[in-house]
Every structure is written in C-alpha cells, then in structure tokens.
Chain A
C-alpha cells in the first residue's frame, strides 16, 4: 500500500486520477481505517488530505460558509458563526461517533462514505449545501443530494475529491433541525432520521421548507410532499399530521438488525414532526 500526503488539492486529484488499483481519500479515517483494520478493504493507495490548507479551515464568504473537507466534527462544533446560522447541520455532524471520533471525523467523509444512515447528510441537504469537487478536469460545484447514489456509492468520478462544503448564509427567519433515533443515547448509528429546514414569511407563516429523511431508503430522501404540507401554515396539528403522512409514504426502508420496516417508517415520521417544530422555533416561529 502506498501512502501520500499532498499539500494541494490539485496534487491530490492527480494522484487519485493516476492511481492503479484501489485508491482512497483519508481525512479523519474513522470509516476508512476501521474498515482496513477489519480486513474489509485493502487499498493500493491512500491519499491523506489533511495537509492541504484548503481543507483545513472554515471560511465565512459573501454567500455563506465554506467548510473544508478535513475539518473535524469537534472543530465545526466550536465555530460559533456556523453553529448560529445552521444549528441543525452542526448538531447532526456532532452526532457522528463518540467524543474521540469527533476529534477526527468530517462532514465530507460522512458524505463520501455514502451510508444511508449518515447523520450529517440529511441536514446538509435540507440546508441546501453544495459540494466543491476538484478533479483532473478542474472544479465543479454540485448539490449535496447529487453525491450519494446508493449504499457505499457516490457520483464522484475517478480522480475526483470533495475539497469543501458550502452552506448558504442562513438568516433570522431560517431555522433547521436534525433528529435521529438510536436505541442508546450515543455511540450508535441512526435507525432512522429526519432533517427539516424552513424559512418563515410574514406573520410567521412558513414560506419555504425542505424535509429530508435518513436511513429509510438507499440514500437520504427529500420529501417535497412533506414540505408542501407545511408551507403556508404556522405548523398547526393538521399540517404536522399531513407532514407525517407524507414522510411515511416516502419511506422505503429495509428490515434488519437495527429496526423493522414498520418501526423505521413510523418513527421517521415522528422525528420529522419533532424536527419541524424545532426548526420552526429556531426560525422565530410561535
């Protein structure tokens, strides 16, 4: 196995593009190293991106925030500006793993690992996050929901890597929230999850909304019908019932050791309902 630690994104992309055999990007390593240790993966090339300055920082831009691909969950959690604008995204990222894992794990790693149960992904999608992809043919920006195509699969082409995630500015009338269900209280993987982002208009009526469910289908699921159910309302009980019904209808989960189809479907709707209430409050709704 070859280990490389380039200092520019371009160099990293070139290494990945030229790689023969199995090549992997190493950021925090909380998925990659665990799999290597368990004998599930035997890479030919590992490209460590932590020495690339562009991946190491959180930047405030004119249009919002840029979060580097090797910024850890703990680092993001300490960023007051991002936390204020996108509490749901930050909370979701902080739910990954244990305290120790938080010191290493990254949002981009969570995204590229492409697990249907990834915590940060539904929250990023709900917030309208975009991924900055660098490859042999240059840079492109892609909505986060276009990255994961199935369990363990992404739309990234050979030689491509994500340099950073960008989030919009947010605002006083915008609120987001993420909730997941785990049987324990921490150190677990979502049995199902829900992220809600909404924007209030005049008189605290919901103007825009995005509802995304996790771990109930091969990829995170955006549920336009659920968003529609609450747009134009002040999140009364009828609107919440309609949101829950739309979420249940959008679920297509599996039956496995972590939960049954019925359980995942029912509880995803419960979480969406609860997350909507939190997002509504965060947007200043009453």
Chain B
C-alpha cells in the first residue's frame, strides 16, 4: 500500500467553476442554444411494439405551411456496417442506425419512424399527425423467459446465438451467451456444508437524468455542420453522426453543452443525426428536444433480468463454489451488458470453483444503453443476496463472511488478471469499525449489507494547458463535465504546477479545438483525463526548467521545480532568485514565446473500486411501505481529488440504487406499451424518501495514477440493491428475490408467508 501523501490542493473542497451559472440558470444545456432562423424538429414514433413498416408517406406533412423538412428511414444513407458502436455501449452501427430512425421494421413501441422540422414546436406536432405510416403488426414478446421459448416471435430472424458450441442451426432471440469458468463447480458444491439455489429478478430501469435529450444542429451548403448537444462524449457523437449520415468527419464540429445527467444514457446518439439531416434538408438550424415521455419510451434504460444463483459454503464461511445464470433483456436490438455483468459478479471474492453464464436476449422493449456499472447491479444483486442468506443460515456476520473470502492484492480476478493493490478488505474493515454499524439496529427495523465492485477503465484522453501572460492557467480538456470534473482537473493542475486553484480554470473544448477524448463514462475521467492534465502540466514544468536554465546560463538538469518555482539545484549558482510560473510567463516573450503544455494518452492501469454499503430499514407490515432509516456508503476512491464530488457520486449512486430496489420499474401492457412513462409513476426517490446518505471515503491509492485516483462514478449504484433487499429480509423475516420491493409485492409476500 502506498504511503499517505499530504497534498496542498488535492483533497480540498473548493467551489466548482461551473457552479454559479448552474444555480442561477445561466448555464446552457442541450436545448438552450437559440440561433437566427432556427426551426423545431419532432419525431413520429411507432404506436406498435413490433411491426413491419410497409410505407411512410410524408407528402401531406410537407404540404402544411410552415413545415420546412420531413424525413423517414429511407432518407438516411444505407450500407451501415456491423462494426461495434464502442465506448460503453453494446451493439452495432447498423442497429444504431435503425434505432435512430427505423427502416423496414419497428421492434419497440416508441421507436422513431419519421421526423419533421417546422417553424414552431406546435406546428411540428401538427405535421406529425399528417404523416401516413402503414404497418403490418407482428406478435410481441416482452418477457425474457418467453423470448427464449422456441415458439417466441423472432425480432431478428437472422439471429444465430453466438458463444454456444456447436453453433445453433435455428435462429432465436438469444444474441449471445457469455461464459466464465474456473475449477469444477460440481465438486465445489460437494465440498460445501450449505448449498443454496435461488431465482432473482431485477426490472428494467431508466437512468432518470433530469435533462431530456436535446440538441441544435446547423448545416451549411458546403457540407459542414455544427451540432450543440447534451452528451457524455462529443467526439463519439461526431463519429456516429458522420457515419450515419455519410458526412466527412472533418466538416463536423460537435460542441458539448452543459449536461443535466447522463449516467451512461447519453453515450449514444438519438436526435443529433436526425436534427442534422433536417437542417441539411431545410437549410435552417434545427432544434430537437425530447419530452420526458419520449425519454422513457425510446431512450436507453438498462436491462431487466431473470437469473438463478447457487452458492456452496463451508461452516467457516469459505465459499467452495458459486454459479450464476442470468438472462438480460437487450430490448429491440442486441447489446445488453452481459460481459461486464459476468466479469464483475464474483470479483470481490476468491472463489476456486465458479461458473457464470449471461445471455443477451432480444425483447420488444427499448434498446438498452449503458447505465452506471452496466450489468453489475443485476448480477451482483443475485450473488450479494444469496451470500447474505448463506451467512444468515450459518450464523456468520455479513462482514465476516465477506472478509473470509475477500479478494486482495495478488488474487486472480475471475476475468483473468491478478489484482494489483485494491481496497476491498479496507472497505470491509471500515464498515466494521463504523459507528453506524456498531450501533444497535433500531427497534423493529432490519439491517442489510452488501458489497459492490467495478473495474473502471482508462481509454483515450487529451489535455492542453495554457499559461497566460500573467501566469494564470487554462486547462482545455475533451471530457464533458458531469460530476464536477473541471474542478478536479483544476485541483490536479494546481497541485502539479504549485499554483493556486483560483488561478486555474478548465474548459471543455469542442471536437475541432482539442484532441480526441473518449466518453465521460467507465468512471474514467478523473483517472484518465486527470492523468493527461498532470502530464500536460509536467510538460510545462519541463519547458519552464529549460527556460530558467537558459536564463541562468546553466544546464537544464541543474534546475529543479519546487512549490511552483524553478530553483537551481543545491550548489548551483545560489545567487539567482527562484522563478515562479508568473515570472516565467512575464518573461515568456524573451524565452521562446507563450508557454503551453499538452498530453494525449491511452491511460493504463485504471484501479478497481470496491464498496460496502449498509442500511437499516423499517417496513410497515400492513402497507408494505419501506422507510430507509439510515444508509452508509463506504468506497475506495484511491485518492479523492475533490472529496465533495466523490461523496456526490456515492450519494447519487446510492439514491439510484435505492430507487431501483424499492420502486423503479418499467411497466408494460400486453401490447408492449409502457404504462408509466413519466416521473409520477416511474418512481425515482424524492428527497423526502431518503435519509442523508452517510459517506466514508476509503483511500487505497491506485499505483498507476500520479495521485492515486480510482474511478468512483459507477461502483456506488451496485451494492444498494442487495443491501436494501437484505435489510427488508431481516426486517420482515421474508426473503423477496424480485425487485422492486414495492408495497404491493411486500404485502403479497408477507400475506403468503403468513398463510404458509
């Protein structure tokens, strides 16, 4: 474990540079830009969950005065290949194209079928009513188990399951099977003193970002275009849009506006190619903005799952074998997060014998997109629940059973590599020593605990750092700021350069003004973009040392950088005054011109982040209402650059996980029409539903990052699902393995247990 380091700026909690504009309403989000001559685009959506499109007739819509353009799938270029979308999202480019605008078929209710652009939003809505679409309605399959039956209607009649040997001869709705194995599970179960096997169901859930998707696109007659959009990755939006429209990428400028939440859901394009094509057709700038209803019906939720889990445990708590089988709803197109779900599920533990199988299954629901630690909440809900039940049966404390099996440095991860320094044991010990864990469970309540894990990724980032003539600093990065990352970049630059936080500001550059950066996702930004910022600052320091050496008439290696100043090495020309960054900037004209540093990298060594959450809940046995009395989130951040934003991630993830555990779910009727496409009946928690989420940041530095950073954004959503479930089980004495733990489900389960 690395030594604790005292930093001057890192670990402090300054005000974020984008804060004032956000709380005063000045900040510009995706739908805020207003351009001269701008018109408004709207999308016509499929009223059927599964149908062939026989024809689309736009002519009556185009005849309506004030309508400037209309389009359908036929207006997009064909020949989109099957290459992967990439980033955090599953699926292929050709599926993405159909998800943006249907071609010959619709596979979920609400899929885009046509679009118009008109003088006003109201006129655009009127025009939609004039579009004539002829459908041939097909049977619908919604349940993941029903979709795997041989008799199920096929969403894609050419789909042959991948990952199964021998390759199946017949098509099915199962796109692929992912398998990870170690040892011999049957032998492992034989060695166990206790074997449990259970079914687990988790519902489809939405990211619930408060800002609906929005963008403004402006094309010119020469083929160039500018797009303002709310995105987690404007470079990837540019690439996808250029591919879907067959446009020259060099002609496209994508500007990331402020973003009102994404959680993975804003890593894929929906509106941008449509708005741009409408702009090309009309010759006018086009604004598009989804309603909340459209967000629910047609943008990426995460998969609902059905699975089974089996565990074998010795009396001392040692896990001898574990098995998970889980089917994931992909929605209408392939791409459920089955890979990470399978890789993550056993990662916190050393298990000699395991088998995990996850399936990507097509159903007539919206195409899933990334959602915070994609796949892990579902698979880990199953294992963290069955492990808890095993601990109950054996009379072992839930922390102790996890400590007995905990992965640590050198443990071979289920997905292959050996873990470098990790902080799972430290998180478990922090939980054990936490005053809330030592406190007795409140009268009548139940306590639940669960762990979480996420790999985190590095990927590509760029940063430039410019020193102004007075020594103040601008950091330019290509990562949209969702969770306060500009403040974190400024803190890392301040620490590296040894200048005050207040003299540094960070901006997110557009695709034509800074180097390529992957999406803000995978919990990568503070780690990877932070690494690029640190390296760009080091580039500046190298240049400054060289300029100081020239000024002082010494060799470059005779100058050192200390606390924001160039100083001569001990014994070298001690007469000279140290030169600050401001001194260097003031003299820049005489020493080689403006001082700028840059770095572009593919960051390696993203450290995994583990968590432990525990909570006390009270259940009203007569109404099934669950009150979360307290909730403690403990997580290894490696090093918290800006602790307030680390806590923000932990609290936000906990809120989303608690909501998913208790009330959030997609409810469809038999025709595949979502019944609760709004925040009234898709119940994310409101402030009064939650206690203050208590956070404890554990810091086991990541050796691969200059300041020890581990990504923190995704891990927090995982543990709450099982922690809440385990707490409800302890409060009521009844285990309910299907989420959400909604009041009707709890009352029904308690009634059934009472009768039994």
Contacts and interface: CB of A to CB of B under 8 A. Distances in A.
B147 to A, nearest CB: 22
Given A183-B663, A263-B747, A258 B125 contact: no
B747 A184 contact: no
Nearest to B680: A189
**Secondary structure dominating the interface of B:** loop
A267 interface: yes
Contact of B743 (A187, A256, A263): A263
A184 B689 contact: yes
Contacts of B685: 184
Nearest to A274: B622
A262 B745 CA distance: 11
B686 A184 contact: yes
Contacts of A191: 743
Interface string B682-713: 01011011000000000000000000000000
A266 B751 CA distance: 10
Nearest to B667: A257
Interface string B713-756: 00000000000000000000000000000111001100100000
B625 interface: yes
Residue in B125, B623, B676, B685 with the greatest tally of chain A CB atoms within 10 Å: B623
A181 B748 contact: no
A183 B683 contact: yes
Contacts of A260: 744, 748
Contacts of B293: 38
B409 interface: no
A238 interface: no
A44 interface: no
Contacts of B742: 183
A257 B743 contact: no
Residue in B293, B662, B686 with the greatest tally of chain A CB atoms within 10 Å: B686
B681 interface: yes
Given A185-B686, A266-B747, A267-B747, A258 B681 contact: yes
A181 B625 contact: yes
A256 B675 contact: yes
B622 A267 contact: yes
B623 A181 contact: yes
A180 to B, nearest CB: 11
A267 B742 CA distance: 14
Given A181-B623, A183-B743, A188 B680 contact: yes
Given A184-B663, A267-B622, A259 B744 contact: yes
A4 interface: no
A114 interface: no
Contacts of B680: 188-189
Given A183-B683, A185-B689, A270 B748 contact: no
B676 A257 contact: yes
Interface string A149-193: 000000000000000000000000000000001011111110100
Interface in A212-230: none
A39 B125 contact: yes
Interface in A238-286: 256-260, 262-263, 266-267, 270-271
Nearest to B740: A183
A76 to B, nearest CB: 21
B473 to A, nearest CB: 42
A270 B625 CA distance: 13
B675 A257 contact: yes
Interface in B641-666: 662-663
Nearest to B681: A257
B244 to A, nearest CB: 29
B290 to A, nearest CB: 14
Nearest to A258: B681
Contacts of B667: 257
Interface in B583-642: 622-625
B735 to A, nearest CB: 20
Nearest to B665: A257
A52 to B, nearest CB: 30
Contacts of A189: 680
Contacts of B625: 181, 183
Contacts of A271: 623
Nearest to B678: A38
A273 to B, nearest CB: 9
A190 to B, nearest CB: 12
Nearest to B679: A187
A121 B667 CA distance: 28
Contacts of B747: 262-263, 266-267
A187 B686 contact: yes
A186 B686 contact: yes
A256 B680 CA distance: 14
A185 B744 contact: no
A267 to B, nearest CB: 5
Contact of B683 (A38, A181, A184): A184
A256 B689 CA distance: 23
Contact of B622 (A184, A256, A259, A270): A270
Interface in A27-72: 38-39
16 contacts: A181-B625, A183-B662, A183-B663, A183-B683, A183-B742, A184-B688, A184-B689, A185-B689, A188-B683, A189-B680, A257-B675, A257-B681, A260-B744, A260-B748, A266-B751, A267-B622
Interface of B: 125, 293, 622-625, 662-663, 667, 675-676, 680-681, 683, 685-686, 688-689, 742-744, 747-748, 751
Interface of A: 38-39, 181, 183-189, 191, 256-260, 262-263, 266-267, 270-271
> What 5 A-B pairs are tightest by C-beta distance, nearest first?
A263-B744, A185-B688, A270-B622, A257-B675, A257-B667
